[in-house]
Copies of this chain bind each other. A is one copy, B any other.
């Protein structure tokens, strides 16, 4: 496929390949069906919830070239619901059909160090950080970044996994070993006022559309709630959008992305540090399904298919709450609440810490 064809927009009837079969893939597949697109989900787990609502599914390993070859031949464009896809897999697929966001974006966001270097290089402030490849480097990093700080693997960490907190008195050799000797990054602990995220889309033509900013809370390192609007004032709001747009433009990004930021107090007033880029639809954008004209899932599909982006206008203030593990047992009570929009992911087993669903409360609905 040559570059001009690669940039040609698709049309309804096209088939979208989705790598990953969890709830994000499931909600992407449902949004695709709305637009008259069909989906082929590729996952390594047979009982993944996305397979149930997709026209086709491949259950195979993410490095299985034969299965990947058949999958990519069946689709017009490839996207993904999680960023820990092997780089070789993304490149292999991209040789046959456009992978959006691009394999380059994937490689960058798979490595915390590369990602932070990239963001800093754009002149966007991040929390203090330092590269840690061995125990000696960790000692130097702690001296530079200070305590408390957080040692994280550069790759494949999520929801608090692959992290170690370094306090006053922590044994840094123990901390380094706890990560299994993987290349790591030390991040300074930032006493933030709150965490916010910008969820936005960039189209194939460079058009950029962002939803209202959400304010996030976490419990046990997992997103608990997103409140929209974040009410951080017009000045910080504009600066948050600018940062997200600068990042998306620099990546020549296509699709929905989330940019997590810390709001911190400083001598010069409040400012925002960018914490992390998620190159995909994001949990903090789930509220858009019920609270906005265009959902993040539909917007992502519009972007990767080269369709015009939709309005990101919110219907009113919302709070999204994740349903983790046994929270799902409250489904009936939640359904009975006015303005509560319930989403369950169809997972069979409600293990502790597992995202089973979410509920969006439309705050303006009282009946």
Contact = CB atoms under 8 A, between A and B. Distances in A.
Contacts of A367: 311, 313
Given A310-B335, A367-B313, A342 B35 contact: yes
A38 B346 contact: yes
A193 interface: no
Given A294-B341, A311-B367, 20 more contacts: A12-B328, A12-B344, A12-B346, A26-B33, A30-B30, A33-B52, A34-B344, A35-B342, A36-B331, A36-B357, A38-B52, A52-B55, A53-B53, A53-B54, A53-B55, A293-B341, A310-B335, A310-B341, A313-B339, A313-B367
8 contacts: A11-B331, A30-B53, A33-B52, A33-B53, A294-B341, A302-B335, A310-B335, A310-B341
Given A38-B52, A53-B53, A344-B34, A311 B338 contact: yes
A307 interface: yes
B36 A346 contact: yes
A348 interface: yes
Given A310-B335, A344-B35, A293 B362 contact: yes
A345 interface: yes
A365 interface: yes
A13 interface: yes
Nearest to A29: B53
A143 interface: no
Contact of A36 (B307, B315, B345): B345
A311 B334 CA distance: 12
A61 to B, nearest CB: 24
A336 interface: yes
A13 B357 CA distance: 13
Interface residues of A, number: 44
Contact of A30 (B33, B36, B339): B33
Shortest 6 CB-CB distances between A and B: which pairs? A36-B344, A308-B336, A52-B55, A308-B335, A315-B315, A12-B344
A339 to B, nearest CB: 6
Contact of A34 (B30, B328, B332): B30
A357 B311 CA distance: 20
Contacts of A302: 335
A332 B308 contact: yes
Given A331-B12, A344-B35, A365 B311 contact: yes
Interface in A325-367: 328, 331-332, 335-336, 338-339, 341-346, 348, 357, 362, 365, 367
Nearest to A55: B52
Nearest to A362: B293
Nearest to A34: B343
A113 to B, nearest CB: 39
Contacts of A38: 52, 346
Contacts of A365: 293, 311, 313
Interface string A100-111: 000000000000
A13 B343 contact: no
Nearest to A342: B35
